[in-house]
Chain A
C-alpha cells in the first residue's frame, strides 16, 4: 500500500474529481487529513492532507518548500507525497494511507503506559534509518515525535510531516513558522515544545542536525512511558527545566508506583537514550552512529509490530470517532483554556485530533497524582539528585499560585461548566503546593517536630528558601527574556547585513556587466 517508486508520482491525478473522500482521520491547526480513494487508480486508498492556505500561518514560500522536500525525498521510512495540487484555497497533498495511524494515537488508545521494549527498538531503528538519510541529505526534520511516526497495517514505519523541516543547503533561513497559535514565546521556534532540544530553545546557538537526535531521545522516552517527560508541566516551565536539567530514562518525572513495578528497561536502551539527551549537542551521536548501538543489534523485524502492537489497536476510524464524540461537549471552550502539550501538534498527519479541554483536565489531575506520589517517594530517600529535583519542583510550586490567581478574574462571567475545570485545577494546584511545602519542610529537617519554637524557626527558614527560589525563578525569567530579546536583535542585525550583502552583490554584478 505504501510502496512508492519515484515514477508512481506521475500516475496520481492532479484534480479533486479523481478522488473520493471517505472520512476525516485527523485534524490540526492548518488543515484536515482525510482517508480517500483515488478512483482512476482502481480506487487505491490514500490519505489526503488538505491545508487551508488562507488560514495557514505558514507563508506560501514555506508551503512550497515543504511540498518540495516531500517530493524529493525517497526512503522507505519517510512518508513521501504522491502529488499535490490546489483546490480553491486548499492545498491537497496526496500521500500513502498508513492504516494504523500515528504512534501517538496507538499509544494513547492502547498503550497508555508505553510500548514493550522490543517494539520500541523496532520503531526507533526504522526512524533512525530515516534520520540518517535525512541528515545525509542536509535536512533537519525538527519535529520528531510519536505523533509524526506513522505505521501501516504491514508494520512498516514512516516518518512524516516536514512542515517545519529545514535544509542546511538553503540559504534563506525561514524559521519563523510558529507552531502554536497562542504562545508568542514560540514565535521564533519550530517544532513541538516538549520534544524540543535545549539549543533550539536557546535559538541563537542555531539549529543543527543534533537537535533531531535530542527529539529522537525524547521520542524514545515517549514510546517507553506513553508521554514525553515534563509533559505534565505547563509549557514555559518545561522549557525552563529543559535548560537547567537532565533526563534519564527512569527519571523521577515519570516515577509512579505502578509504573515502577512494571517497567524495567534494558541497560542498552537507557544508555542509548542518555547519549541522545546530552546537553552538549556535539556529544550526541549521529543517527548513523546510533544505528550501530548495541540496543539495535538484535532488533526484530516489523512483523513483531503487526503481531504484538497492531493487533491490540482499534482501527483508526474507531479511534478518531471516539475522540470526536468525547470532545463534542467541551469543544466550545477549546480556545479559552491555557495551552496543553498536545495542543501544539501543528501537524495534520497526527491521526489524533487535539482537544485541549478534555486532555487538559485529565492532565492536571494526573499531574497532581504524579506529584503526590513522587514527593512521598522522595521524602524517604534523601539522595542528592532527588533533592535537586525537589528544588526545581518547589520552584514550580512557587509559580503555580500566580497562574491560579490570574485565571479567576477572566472566568467570573463564565457559566458553571466553564468554572468547574478552573476550580479543579485551582484545587489541584493547592494540593500540589501543600505537598510541596510538606516536602520542603521534610527536606529542611526530617519530619516535622511538635515543638512550637522549632516549628517557627523552620517556617522562617522555609520562607527564606522560598524567597530565594522565587528570586532564582525571577532571575531565570529575566535572563530568558533577555536572551529572547538579544536573539531578536541579532536576527534583525543579520537580516540587515544580508540585505546589505545582497544589495552589494547586485551592484557588483551590475558593474561587471556594464
Chain B
C-alpha cells in the first residue's frame, strides 16, 4: 500500500491518460462511419474559402456581431467583479481568518454550485420567462454561472496555497485584513488574471451560443444559416466571429501584463451602455413580466411527483455521465497529445490555429457535421463536445506552457534527452498540475454543455431538459435542474477528495 502511494505517476502522464477514451470513441466512429454526408461536409469546408459577401447579409451579421460582443463584454466585466467578491467570501482561509469560523465560506460555496450547474442557455430561457426579450437576459444568463465559477476558482486558489506568510505576518501583529491582501492575494494574482482573461473568450462563445438559442446577436443569424444549411452565409458569420476572438485574445494578452485588465473590467459597463444605445439594443432596466408561465403552487406539488415518476432517471443520468466522461477525456488529452506529436514551433502554430477553429465552431454545429458522416450515437455527441472543449483546453495549455520556466527543458536537452521526452518531462510536466486543475473545472462545464448537444443522440439529461423546456413542463425542468445541481456538487466533492489525496 505504502509502496503504491510512493509510485505516483508523472504529472505529464496524468494529463495524457484521459486520452485512453479516444480508443473506444475512434472505434465507435469507424464502425458507424459512412460516406453519405461527404458531399455536405465538403460543401461546408469549401464554403470556408468562399463565404458569402452579400451586402445586406454582412450588415445584419455585423450588427449581430456587435450585439454579441457587447453582451459578452458586459457579462464578462460584471461576472468578473462579482466573482472576485464571491470568491473572497467563499475562501475558508479568508473567512476563518476574519471570523474564526469555516462553515460560512463552505456553505456559500455549496450554495453557489447550483448556479454553476445550470447551462447559460437554460438560464437564458428561464430568465426570458421572467423578463421577456431584454438585453439583460443574455447578460445575466452569462453572469450567473460565470460569477459562480470564478468564485470557485478563486476560492480554490486561495485555499490551495498553504498560507505560510499569512501565519508569519499574523504572528508579527499585522491586522487580519491587511494581512490577507498582502500575503494571500499576490500569490494567486497571476493565475486569477489568466483565468479572467481567458473567460472573455468563453463569454464571447457563450454569447454566441445564447444567440443560437434565441437571445439575439450573431448566434441567431448563424443558427438560421445553419438550420437551412447555407454554409457560405454561415462562414461569413464564423469568420467575423473568428476575427473578434483573435482580436480579443490579442487585447487580453496585451492588457493582462499590467493593471490594464482591471481598468478594462471597470470601464466596460460604461462603454457598453453607450454602445447599446447606438445599436438600438435594448439594455433598459429589465422589468418583471406579469403572470408566471407555470401553474399555481398546489398544482406544482402534485405535478412534481408526477414528473419525477415519469422520468427514467437512471438511464438519463447514466448517459449524461458517460457523455461527460468521454468528452472530458477527449478535451483534456487531445491538446497535450497533439503537442507531443508536434513539439516544434512550426507545426505547433498549426495546432494552435486548430484550437481556435475548434472553439469557433459551436458545439451543435460540430455535432451536426459529425452526424453527417456517422450514425447518431453517444459517440458523436461526446466527440462533438470533446472537440469543442479541446479548443479551450488547448488555449489553456498554450498559456500554461508559455509560463513554464525553460531551464528544466534546457537541462534535459543538455543531458541528451530526445526532443519529445525532453518536451514531455521538461515542459509538459511542470505545466501539468495547473492544467489538470483547470481540467476539473472544464469537466464541470462539459457536464452542463451536454444540454447543448442533447439533440444528437436524443440522449441524456440535456435532451430531456430541452424537451421539457420546449413543452413548458416546468415541474420536470425543476427536477432536471436539481439533478444537474446534485451531479455538479458530487463532481466538486470528488475533485476536492482527489486533490486532497494527491
A-B complex is real: no
